[in-house]
Amino acid sequence: MTAAPTRDATPLADPALLQQADRFIRAARYGAAHAVLAALRRRSPASGDVGQLTARLAMAEGRTADALAILDDAIAAEAARPALRLLRAEARMQAGDAVGAAVDAAEAVVLAPDDPVAKAILGLSLVDAGAHEDAIACLADAARSAPQMAAAWRGLAEALSRSGQQDAARNALEDGIAAAPGDLGLRQAAMMAAMRARDFVDCVRLGTEARATGLVDACVLGLLGHALSKLGRHDQAGDAYHGAFRLAPEDPYVRHLVAAAGLLPGEGRAPPEYLETVFDGYAGRFEDHLIGLGYRVPGLMREMLQEGMDAAGLGRVLDLGCGTGLAGLMVADLPMEHLAGVDISARMLEEARGKGIYADLAQGDITAWLGATQALWDTVIAADVLCYFGELEAVFHAIRPRMHRGGRLVFSVETMEDGATGWRLGSQGRYAHSPAYVEAALRAAGFAIERRRAETLRHEAGAEVQGLVIAARKVGADA
Ligand SMILES: C[S@@+](CC[C@H](N)C(=O)[O-])C[C@H]1O[C@@H](n2cnc3c(N)ncnc32)[C@H](O)[C@@H]1O
């Protein structure tokens, strides 16, 4: 959800005290705000202004249900007050009720047709409700009437992007930056949009401008570093990553990028926060991009599955890290009982759902999800997914108990071509493995290797990405 614009309270009770409470809320001095509001309630128990501020305080403290109850009462007492409707629209958005939020915001627009904040909130609630064309109209109107309102530009860009108009979304962000140059969120969104479009040069321009204006946080510097490293400017990328790391040393996304640049030791796997951010942002153009890189893994998996398939077919099949369903699509016509997928990225799963080939799709981290499910599988596939793990032991150990005896695991890994042993995190944020390490980890987890083929998996930056496709069978007694 894009953050809603804020608006000032309209003082009706004691104006000085109302302003004081408002200031305390804005400064996150919630204890002081409670005290002032209690005093105001004693003096003007029925004031809509006091109700509005009390609800805002509840929202600021994360007590959305309390805020909604306060606003229901306030609106019942004063139905024609647009500010109350707008605040309830925001509270409903916070509560995930996009349709209810849109109803309130539309009511506020009827009550205050010239108020750009009302139009912006209506537009934002329509984005959440999936009504992108109407959202675009509202937000464009709001942004034109109040160009300094950064939330309107951000919402407009989000609506345009969700309706597939990526260039227009990037233009809206540029216009927003010109109109509201002090808004960090607009600059972050513009950099992310440039990264998604693989326009690394423009991402560097945006990051450099943000840095020049002093508007940076770990996200801006992390993205700047990522774009610079994509352009091969590794020293400058290192500087940007250092800056990001200084600002947010605990941020898992930043830590992974910094480790990928070789500036920190790599952890044993890519953090879930990193994976979700990257693949949610990548989902819309993933297939075009991978096909453009000559992505061969789904076809190679199909061959491997067919070669070892017995007369009963594949049985129950689980596609780990199913993404948009490219590998699933490639195997879905083989004889099987059931095809299920799991992925960490909600946006990738949306694309997979659209293919209509999976009986079940679940969102979760592979190892955590496998640890929580009771289901059993005959065939498990993992296409281009284990490259997000360095240490493979934990993944293989999580997969094995979820397989029927004799079940097959078919997966790909990227390999290190320089004779190094173990695993290594590369500058693109993925891991490569030595074949000996992969085989030892498989055997240690209770699998026997049936087939193993060295292949070119795809191309990247003009070079071939080498890897292995392996079919292994579960052996030994169940624990
Ligand atoms: C390169 S894509 C491959 C997608 C698909 N298997 C295919 O071949 O087209 C990697 C996918 O694995 C997912 N993924 C990576 N690590 C994961 C994890 N630890 N848990 C769940 N999903 C993960 C990503 O979200 C992404 O959708």
CATH of residue 433: 3.40.50.150
Q: Is the CB of 254 under 6 A from ligand 1?
A: no
Which residue owns the Cα nearest ligand 1 atom 13?
321
| Mean pLDDT of all residues belonging to the chain | 92
pLDDT digits (tens, 9 = 90+) for 258-309: 898 888 888 899 999 999 988 988 888 889 888 888 999 999 999 999 998 9
Q: Looking at residues 145-169, what average pLDDT do you find? A: 95
Query: Phi/psi class of residue 62: alpha, beta or left (left: φ > 0; alpha: ψ in -120 to 50)?
Result: left
- Whether residues 338 and 452 share a domain: the answer is yes
- Whether residues 303 and 255 share a domain: the answer is no
Residue 13 confidence (pLDDT) above 80: no
Q: How many angstroms is it from 248 CA to the middle of ligand 1?
A: 26
Residue 11 confidence (pLDDT) above 60: no
- Looking only at the bridges linking them, the beta strands covering 403-414 and 463-474 are antiparallel
Q: Is the CB of 327 under 6 A from ligand 1?
A: yes
Closest CA to 258 of 269, 272, 273, 243: 243
Q: Looking at residues 439-454, what average pLDDT do you find? A: 96
Q: What is the pLDDT, as a whole number, of residue 361?
A: 98
- Whether residues 247 and 306 share a domain: the answer is no
Domain stop point among 222, 242, 265: 265
Question: How far is residue 169's CA from residue 174's CA, in Å, rounded to a whole number?
Answer: 9
Question: How far is residue 40's CA from residue 407's CA, in Å, rounded to a whole number?
Answer: 69
Q: How many angstroms is it from 242 CA to the middle of ligand 1?
A: 28
Q: Is the CB of 413 under 6 A from ligand 1?
A: no
Q: Is the CB of 225 under 6 A from ligand 1?
A: no
Containing structural domain, residue 402: 280-474
In a domain, 459, yes or no: yes
Question: How far is residue 174's CA from residue 204's CA, in Å, rounded to a whole number?
Answer: 14
In a domain, 440, yes or no: yes
Q: Is the CB of 329 under 6 A from ligand 1?
A: no
- Whether residues 187 and 173 share a domain: the answer is no
Query: The tokens of 352 are what?
Result: 């997979």
- Whether residues 288 and 409 share a domain: the answer is yes
In a domain, 274, yes or no: no
Query: What band does 479 get if pLDDT is binned at 50, 70 and 90?
Result: low
Query: The tokens of 199 are what?
Result: 């326009």
Query: The tokens of 445 are what?
Result: 């987890």
Q: Is the CB of 298 under 6 A from ligand 1?
A: yes
Question: How far is residue 275's CA from residue 362's CA, in Å, rounded to a whole number?
Answer: 16
Q: How many angstroms is it from 445 CA to the middle of ligand 1?
A: 22
Residue 38 confidence (pLDDT) above 80: yes
Note the pTM of the prediction, 2 decimals: 0.75
Q: Is the CB of 89 under 6 A from ligand 1?
A: no
Domain stop point among 265, 288, 318: 265
- Structural domain count of the chain: 3
Q: How many angstroms is it from 167 CA to the middle of ligand 1?
A: 27
Is the separation of the CB atoms in 277 and 283 below 8 Å? Answer: no
Q: Looking at residues 366-372, what average pLDDT do you find? A: 97
Which residue owns the Cα nearest ligand 1 atom 10?
385
Domain stop point among 231, 265, 299: 265
Q: Report percent pLDDT > 70 for the chain.
A: 97
Residue 223 confidence (pLDDT) above 60: yes
Q: What is the pLDDT, as a whole number, of residue 414?
A: 97
Q: How many angstroms is it from 161 CA to the middle of ligand 1?
A: 23
